[in-house]
Structures are given as C-alpha cells and as structure tokens.
Structure 1
C-alpha cells in the first residue's frame, strides 16, 4: 500500500492523528522535500518524533526514478510524506497513477494547505481566486513571464492570485525577491500591480501578514521562510476590513 500523508503547514504538530497512525504502522517512510518544507521542524526532529528511518526524496527520485517507492509499496506499507496537503499545491498525481497501474492500493491522508490557510489569514474569499502561479528563480537566460501573465489575466477578471515563491534545497524565495522579479518583468509594460499581500510562516504561532504596495512590502522584514504572495483584485468591503483588522495594512 502507498499512503500519501500531508504534514501540514509549519511544524510536527500539524499532522493529523490519522497521519501519525499511518507513520506508526508504516514499513517504509519517504519524505518529499522539494515542493514544500516544514520551516518549523527539521529532519532530526522528525526522526526523534517518529522513531523510524526516513528516506528523503529529491524531485528526480519522485518524478523520474520512483521505482524504490513503488517497490516498497508492493512489499509493505509505504508512507509518502509531503508538506501541506499531498494533492493540492504539492500534487503527486502521477505517482498515484503509477501505483494504480501496478495494482498497488493507495490512500490519501490530507493535511492543512496554504491554499486554505491564506484565505483564513488574509480574509480574501476563496471563491474569488483565479489560477495560481509560481515565481521561479531566474536561471541564466531563462526568465519566464508566465507568472506575470497569470496575475494580469486574473486582475482583468477581478480575481485574486495565489503566487507560490520558489523553494530550493538551500534557498527560499522571499516576498521581497518575488516582488522584485515581477517588477522586472513589468519594466517595459504599462501594466502595474497596485496591491500585494505577503504572508510568512503560515501555520506558526506568529504568522506575519502585510498588505501594501510593492514598494512598501519590499521594505518589510517578514522574517524566516516560508513566504508566499497574494495579488488581490478589487477588495470587497469585508475583505478590506479583515485585512485592516488582522494584517498590517500599509496600502495608501
């Protein structure tokens, strides 16, 4: 059996009781470490809490060389851990399909996701979000404009945009870096983004939520990762009031 279990948003206390039970009964534990991370807990803490060996997987291990995961699931109970919810922003549908094709039973144990957490922290209404996008770190001559195109299309339809910021092995994109990349993409354009909402460490006891112009948010110290951006459309009065009550609202 292959069980996909979400770890939640921030630390080891975020996993569900079902998830903990699955880990306790597992023969093999895998940890996907490239689409999301628990910024409030490290691998040593996970070893100590679970009392079992944990096999850490890279993107290549999961997407190109999944045979060890599938073999483990054929020979026992394999738990595949991800940050957040396994089939939301950290989707692994391909791995589940591969398992089914080999006759392996699968199961999902959901965890809290940034998709819903952002709505709770910012007050932006879930049904008003359009297509989400990701901002990757530019590499050599690769500087994709897709995230900006997605944001501008959503704004034209009066929809909010959830903007994921790049996560690498030892580098986590900050809100400041994300805004700077979007501004770079807009340099030769008449388009503009009037308002951003930055969220840091969702799921922790002290998350930081700030709404304001790009220039203002670039000067805010959001602290350690993980960070995420939201580009809101025109705010409903309740959304505006919520941001003013529960976030640092510095938009002029």
Structure 2
C-alpha cells in the first residue's frame, strides 16, 4: 500500500488523526519538503509525534527515482508525507497515477493547504483564478508568467494567489517584500499598466498558524513592511464584492 498524507501548513499539530493512525501501520515513512515546508516545526518533532523515523527525500529522489518508492509499496506499507495537501503538487499526482497503473493500493489523506487557508483573508475562494508562482530571478532568467497570469485574472475580475519561491536546500524563502519588488520590475518590463505602487494587495504570512499576519494595502506602502518569518503569500484582488470589501477592512491589518 502507498499512503500519501498531508501534514498541513504550519506545525506538527496540523496533521490529522487519520495520518497518525496510518503512520502506525506503515513499514516505512518518507517525506519531502521541497514543494513546501512547515516553518513552525522540525523533522524531529514530526517524528516524535508519529513515533517513527522519517526518511527525507530530495526533489531528485521523488521526480526521478519515484519508481523505487512505488515498488517498495508492493509488499510494504509505505507512507509519503508532504506539507500542505499531498495532491496539490503535480509530482505527487504522477506518483499516484503510476502506482495505480501498477495495481498498487493507494490511499490519500488530505490536509489543509494554502488554497483553503486563503479564505482567512475574507476573499471568496471561488473567485480565485489561476495561481502564479514568483521565483527568484537568476542571470538571464526573469520569467514573466506571473505578470501574465495576474493580467488575465484581472480581466475576468478574479483574484490571483501568488506563491513565493522556496529553496529549502539553501534555507531560502522569498519574502513578500521581494515578491512585490519582482512584480513591479515585471511591470517596468511589460508596461501594460497592470500593476503599480498604488495597486492594493493582500499579504498572508504564516498561514495555518494560530497567529497569521494578514495585511492589506498598496504595494508602495507594503514593499518595506516587516511581515515577520516565512512563509509568505501575496494575493492580487480582482473585482471585490461588498462583503469582501468589508472582510478586508475587518479581517486584515489595513496599511495605512
């Protein structure tokens, strides 16, 4: 059996009772934290709660050597842990499909993810369009995809969730400040008048924790704001319903 289980968003207390139940049955437990990471806990704490050792996998282990994990689950109960929900990342979907093709019993244990957590802002979930990923620029690499997604969503009146780059091998997490600067740089490059320092955005920091930081304001006012430790996300609101406007007023810290 292959079990894919989500750990939730922030710390070891986010995991479900079902995950704990199946962990007791597992012969081996693997985990990856390159697609997302729980910043409110450590691997040791997660192992302590589960009562078992966790084998940490790299991106290469999962994407290029995932067959080994699948084959192990032919005669063992193998659990694969991820931050957030296990079926959000396409890599994990590929694992499930391949395991199903080989006739292996697969169980998926869902968990909170950023896609449900954004509801804490008061913005209505069904009004979100495509998600944009903002990555760290590199020499000769400055992808414009986030800008294009925001533009297309705004044309339809939809909100855009921007996920910020994570490089766990370097312990590097993009801050909302860095993400906002990149968006303004993209506007300078594209010049389609989609974004400006006056564009209002929502920054959600440490989603899933008991004290998340939710800030609403203009990019120019937030670009140097201290949002605290990671993880951060940025939301570009589309057309706001009057209930959403009220929610942003009372559920967010409004700047200025």
TM-score after normalising by structure 2: 0.94
Alpha-carbon distance between aligned partners in 1 of 2:91 and 2:68, rounded to the nearest angstrom: 19
Q: Can you list the C-alpha shifts for 1:15-63, whole angstroms capped at 9, x where unaligned?
A: 1110111112111101011111111111111222222111111111111
In the alignment, which residue of structure 2 is the partner of 1:175? 176
Aligned length: 250
In the alignment, which residue of structure 1 is the partner of 2:126? 127
Runs of 4+ in 1 over 6 A off after TM superposition: none
In the alignment, which residue of structure 1 is the partner of 2:79? 79
Within-5 A mapping of 1:27-106: 27-88=27-88, 92-106=92-106
Any stretches of 5+ residues in structure 1 without a counterpart?
none
Within-5 A mapping of 1:1-252: 1-88=1-88, 92-119=92-119, 121-169=120-168, 170-188=171-189, 189-193=191-195, 194-250=199-255
Alpha-carbon distance between aligned partners in 2 of 1:92 and 1:110, rounded to the nearest angstrom: 12
Alpha-carbon distance between aligned partners in 1 of 2:55 and 2:134, rounded to the nearest angstrom: 28
Alpha-carbon distance between aligned partners in 1 of 2:217 and 2:239, rounded to the nearest angstrom: 13
CA contact (8 A) 1:200 1:208 kept: yes
Q: Can you list the C-alpha shifts for 1:138-193, whole angstroms capped at 9, x where unaligned?
A: 12211110011000110011100111101111101110011111111111404133
Give the secondary structure class of the aligned counterpart of 2:233: strand
CA contact (8 A) 2:63 2:91 kept: no
CA contact (8 A) 2:217 2:255 kept: yes
Any stretches of 5+ residues in structure 2 without a counterpart?
none
TM-score after normalising by structure 1: 0.95
